[in-house]
């Protein structure tokens, strides 16, 4: 049973535009929601993460918005650049709280 649902599967954005990726989770017990970024041929790497006691976290052009009551969180990439073209994964913990379970990923293409 997948615990994290991610959408859209793919996204094309023009340079300078805003990219938005959404995720929904099921288990309300967990307290850490990271986003990972993966470039072709590489392993995923942590991009940004949030705890549910805050509604928003911003790091540079990347912002996570968190809606605890709806059990949803989203990644916003402002002023999207071609270098942001990658696959993005949201994640949450498994039932035991010992391993991250990932969404299916969103492939972002930023056109110049």
Partner 1 sequence: NAGVTQTPKFRVLKTGQSMTLLCAQDMNHEYMYWYRQDPGMGLRLIHYSVGEGTTAKGEVPDGYNVSRLKKQNFLLGLESAAPSQTSVYFCASKKAGTRNDEQFFGPGTRLTVL
Q: Is beta strand 33-38 parallel, antiparallel or unpaired with respect to 45-50?
A: antiparallel
Residues near partner 1 (CB under 8 A), total: 29
Q: Is 35 in the site for partner 1 (CB under 8 A)?
A: no
HSE-CB at 28 with a 13 A cutoff on CA atoms is 5
Spatial CA neighbour of 64 closest among 110, 20, 14 = 20
Q: Which among 19-27, 37-45, 53-61, 71-79 is the span making contact with partner 1, rule CB under 8 A?
A: 37-45
Among 19, 66, 77, 105, binds partner 1 (CB under 8 A): 105
Show the CA angle centred on residue 97, arms to residues 3 and 104, nearest 5°: 30
Nearer to partner 1, 20 or 100 (CB): 100
Rounded Cα gap, residues 34 and 18, in angstroms: 20
Contact between 53 and partner 1 per CB under 8 A: no
User: Where does this chain bind partner 1 (CB under 8 A)?
Assistant: 2, 6, 9, 30-32, 34, 36, 41-46, 49, 51, 89, 93-94, 96-105
């Amino acid at each position: 049973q997948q615990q994290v649902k991610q959408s859209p599967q793919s996204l094309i954005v023009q340079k300078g535009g805003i990219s938005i990726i959404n995720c929904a989770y099921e288990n309300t017990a967990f307290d850490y929601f990271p986003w990972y970024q993966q470039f072709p041929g590489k392993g995923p790497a942590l991009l940004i993460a949030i705890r549910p006691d805050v509604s928003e976290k911003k790091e540079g052009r990347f912002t996570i918005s968190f809606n605890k009551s709806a059990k949803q969180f989203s990644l916003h990439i402002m002023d999207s650049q071609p270098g942001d073209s990658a696959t993005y994964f949201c994640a949450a913990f498994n039932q035991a709280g010992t391993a991250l379970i990932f969404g299916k990923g969103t492939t972002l293409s930023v056109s110049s």
